[in-house]
Amino acid sequence: MVKDWECMTELLIDGPDRGEKPLNDQQETALIKIMVCVVRQAVQGRPPVGRKSSKKMSAKKKKIVLDDKMKLSQHFMVKLPDLLSIYGINSEQVADLLEIPQHFDLEIYTTSGLEVYLNSLLRQMKYIVKNHTETEVGLNRFQLASCVSINQ
């Protein structure tokens, strides 16, 4: 249930269903933080904080991690440019969202024909690099500047 990235991004992009109260800024920030945390845990194969895990990852667990990485890559490659477009003004939200591409399986851009979304993501990143100087964006901003300048 926690790995329901589609539901989280739909709520952030499209807003709540009719008749439901929209999220406030704090709730949006909290949802983004939860979503990024879930992405990180999924690609690292780590259990949530407070749960024990064996040191060695089983073959079944490795397959689950690879499948999750592929699914989240396919999903966020399409949705992340929209998320950055909407939340690109808030430095705290941007800093969190910029962690997501670091967990992508980048080959999916070409193998799934998603190059148009890569271009869209790079345009959003270029905007962020030009317009954000806050320390919250920090290292992610530096990494993005390198990425954007390479792909121009």
Question: In the numeric block, which tokens belong to residue 110?
Answer: 């070409």
Number of domain units in the chain: 1
Q: Taking the CA atoms of the chain, what radius of gyration do you get in angstroms?
A: 16
- Domain assignment of residue 129, given as a range: 5-150
Q: How many CB atoms lie within 10 A of CB 114?
A: 17
CB of 32 closer than 8 Å to CB of 93: yes
What's the CA gap between 94 and 87, in Å, rounded? 6
pLDDT at res. 57: 77
What's the CA gap between 145 and 25, in Å, rounded? 27
CB of 89 closer than 8 Å to CB of 97: no
CB of 104 closer than 8 Å to CB of 85: no
Q: Of 17, 33, 137, whose CA–CA distance to 25 is shortest?
A: 33
pLDDT at res. 151: 46
Q: What are phi and psi of 23, to 5 degrees?
A: -75, 145
**DSSP state for residue 103 in the 8-state scheme:** G
Q: What is the per-residue pLDDT across 71-123, written as a single tens digit (0 to 9) for each?
A: 999 999 999 999 999 998 888 899 899 999 999 999 999 999 999 999 999 99
Question: In the numeric block, which tokens belong to residue 152?
Answer: 């121009």
Q: What is the per-residue pLDDT across 8-40, written as a single tens digit (0 to 9) for each?
A: 999 999 987 888 888 999 999 999 999 999 999
